[in-house]
Amino acid sequence: MPRLFVANRGEIACRIIAAAQALGIETVVGVSEADRDSLWARAANRALVLGPAPARQSYLDGRLLLHAATASGCTALHPGYGFLSENAAFAQGVADAGLAFCGPTPAQMAAVGDKLAARALARTLGVETGQASDALEDAGAAASAARSLGYPVVTKASAGGGGRGMRVVQAETGLAAALAAARAEAEAAFGDGRIYLEPFVESARHVEVQAFGLGDGRVITLGTRDCSIQRRYQKLVEEAPAVAVPEAARADMEAAAARLLGAIAYRGAGTVEFLWDAARGQYRFLEVNARIQVEHPVSEMVWGIDLVQWQIALALGRFEPPARLVPRGHAIEVRILAEAVDADGGFRPAPGRITGWQPPPGLRLDSGFAAGCQVPPFYDSMVAKLIVAAPTRALAVARLQAGLADFRVEGIATSIPFLRRIAGHGDFIANRLSTRWLEGAFMAGVRSAA
């Protein structure tokens, strides 16, 4: 009988365990000492303590994870998102240990995990990438590149994602400091301090294409997502499809995503990200995320599928492509954080024990927490994702507003009140959004109200 090792924590660990169990597959989860009594530890057939709470001594220790997986008789491993999910060396270690990896091959990770390499591949395939510099050797090279591109520019880390290494630079006087800070952050986060520059677009939409490669050049695309509501480049709200972008442009992005991933015979779930320049009516390729994404549920709700089950089935040679897929309606996801949000919009982590947990009935909630659970201070602060779906965006917004109004959490502070303000804002209701909206117009309103 197949046995799956879950190399992650929180809501995605719970999702993977549930998906595997639905397929009749046993699960083993590796946990830190801080998570030994967690919901995911209880949900799996077996939980193994990896080590102390710090992630580098548990969830980021590939040697420990592989030892736990092989010693427990697992035949496959799912990395979830974050941690080692896009680490090609870890994926290679999984393969070398004789385990099936629920994700792309190490070579595919290397091909698209590096943004500069992915941009070069995209250009050869005729995918619009827009202007960008090469990797910058020093401040002099950065100044020359920025003058050529035109201010404002944004620094980008060639490795990794999650907004690490990103700094908006309005003029040359701030470039050297921004470059140094971006390089240091990228080096600390990814062990790779290479930085490049792109022109910064003030009024843009962050659009993603959800894709699933079969490993033989065939790629299933599952529409678009709009992930424009961001704080410090971290997404807070995601929806599918990206209805603010013209349908023809969305179709072009899907075709570009399929061409890009098909060229490397990509295997499994992946997301191809684009920037939609609303003022110019143009899109450009940003990067590929070679893993399942936090926001995948909105695509699942629209297409009526389970992407995590697809990942597991493909890795085990069981996947059968659906004969027909038809999208229906609109879905919205909000990330609920264990963070206190000040009146002026400042966010502070709020770990602790949840004493009351009452989600809204009838709505999808992906979470690894409930009443009585301890939210530790060592990891990402997200405790749940609330997902709503409806025939139209307007109805989905109404369901989101009602769901957030009914959600009750006690014992810790959460971002739910902040999300209620977003969901009730006129710009959100009318879909007048951009990647700068939250930190611009919305936060200005929050501060003036305070």
- Catalytically active residues are 291
Burial class (CB in 10 A: 0-12, 13-18, 19+), 260: buried
Half-sphere exposure at residue 172, Cβ-oriented, CA atoms within 13 angstroms = 12
Q: How far apart are the first and last CA of the chain?
A: 58
CA distance 15 to 371: 19
Residue 99: CB partners within 8 Å, gap ≥ 6? 5, 69, 70, 74, 75, 76, 77
CB atoms within 10 A of CB 26: 18
Nearest to 407 by CA among 390, 420, 397, 396: 420
User: What strands, in cross-sheet order, belong to the sheet with 76-78?
Assistant: 46-51, 26-32, 3-6, 76-78, 100-101
Q: Where are any strands of DSSP class E within 170-255?
A: 195-199, 204-214, 219-231, 234-240
DSSP 146: H
Structure tokens at 77: 């491993």
Q: How many CB atoms lie within 10 A of CB 450?
A: 9
Tell me the C-alpha distance between 309 and 67, whole Å. Answer: 25
